[in-house]
Amino acid sequence: MLRWGLIGLGLLLFAAPAGADTLRSVSGVRAPLAAGCPAAAMVVVYPKQMPLFLAPPAHKALLRTSTGLVASVGRVDVAKCSGNELLRSVSLFGSITAQAVRLVGTTPSIVGLQVGSRAAVGNRFPLGWGTLVVGEQSAKYVAALSLTLSREHEGLPEGTRILVGVGPIPPKPKVYKIKRKKATHRPLTVTPKLQVKKLVFPVVGSITAGDSYGGPRSDVPGGWHHGDDIFAPIGTPLVAVASGTVNRVGWERLGGWRLWVRDTAGDEFYYAHMSGYAPAVLHSKKVTRGEVIGFVGNTGDAYTTPPHVHFEIHPRKLLHLGYDGAVDPTTYLDAWPHVTGATVPRPAHPRLPRTPQLRSEASHVWHELLAARHLLPPKQVWKPGTPVDAGAVAARFTPQARASSSASLVVAAGLGLVALLGLAGAFAYRRRQG
């Protein structure tokens, strides 16, 4: 026997209403197509009446009227409430036949469909007295075959529909919105695992970081320190902790010259108070792990403090908290290996800040960087606020410039020696004459 899966509040049995005496010898259950799981080999939708789910005896579904047998399914295999059906030897009014009708989920397939004497190709067939549709789908069910009568035919009135291979439409999965925690404006106590495994310490050399995360800071949002300060001599190279991209490169009121590194997993790292940048950072957004991206300084609100880099970690999972998504970087920094050697480019800087005082401070820090990188003469006198052309200064200390300078010194020394020898000879001649 066919196992029926009409689940809901219960299956209601309805007596055939007046005017339905054209259906003879039909065993079935009347229920809405939208109730429970409407899985059936055949469903008859009589005009203005509850659909009739046929209950086939001996694995057969039969529909008879006063004129005789109008629809039949020779063999039925319907899985309960799953929408998986296999029907064989299907016949509708003798003129529509199919060797097999299969319904898997919401996908029907028909084998050997014939309409009249010809093999059917397509999914919609006008018949003169009705229309046959292959793969009819509504909001609640799908039917492998759907036949709608446009006029009375074989004892069935106009508007009658016969559905073959009926299965339910799976309900849409519920979308659960993830409730994200709002920013608390207080230091976080979590240190989530970062997605990228191999990261390096942001400062070149054997420098250690002090744990200042969460300390009071009156001039930043929330009033607490969002990272660690790593102190090092001015001009000490800074490297990218991971491969990825750089963004927000340039001047910021508190951070001075700063930038952000975003790794390939979306975790972000913030560097602040820099004295200058690597030229590549100003022209390209891509960086590789261990590549020099800038130099330690004390720009921004750190101008009166010893040189250091302010370093923050913003895991991707906490970016929705905004600036308050920064976590304590100390445990991460302690675990990352240090870069002891790196290719250090000549420093560069973007446009100086427009405010005269900030411009003077940035110029002063930039001058100290050049001096620390040995790109200025040691005795050169410089006044704060005087612009420094790093390219011109650096050009004076290229190998070619140094070689040219050495050659000039040799020539000058030779000329001086010739002059001294001439003077000595003249003095000796005058003594002999005297």
What is the pLDDT, as a whole number, of residue 13?
32
What is the pLDDT, as a whole number, of residue 116?
81
Q: What percent of the chain has pLDDT over 90?
A: 38
Which comes out higher in pLDDT, residue 121 or 137? Answer: 137
Q: What is the pLDDT of residues 344-369, one digit of tens each?
A: 999 999 999 999 999 999 999 999 99
d(CA 8, CA 143): 20
d(CA 102, CA 117): 22
Q: Provide the CATH topology of domain 221-356.
A: Glucose Permease (Domain IIA) (2.70.70)
Instruction: Say if pTM beats, i.e. exceeds, 0.85.
Output: no
What is the pLDDT, as a whole number, of residue 303?
93
C-beta atoms surrounding 287 within 10 Å:
24
Domain boundaries, the chain: 23-168, 221-356, 365-399
Residue 379 has pLDDT above 60, yes or no: no
Which comes out higher in pLDDT, residue 180 or 353? Answer: 353
**246-270: average pLDDT:** 95
Residue 214 has pLDDT above 80, yes or no: yes
What is the pLDDT, as a whole number, of residue 424?
66
Supply angle C-alpha 344, 349, 355, rounded to 5: 150
Q: What is the pLDDT of residues 305-318, one digit of tens each?
A: 999 999 999 999 99
Residue 6 has pLDDT above 80, yes or no: no
d(CA 261, CA 407): 46
Which comes out higher in pLDDT, residue 80 or 85? Answer: 85
What is the pLDDT, as a whole number, of residue 9?
28
C-beta atoms surrounding 253 within 10 Å:
11
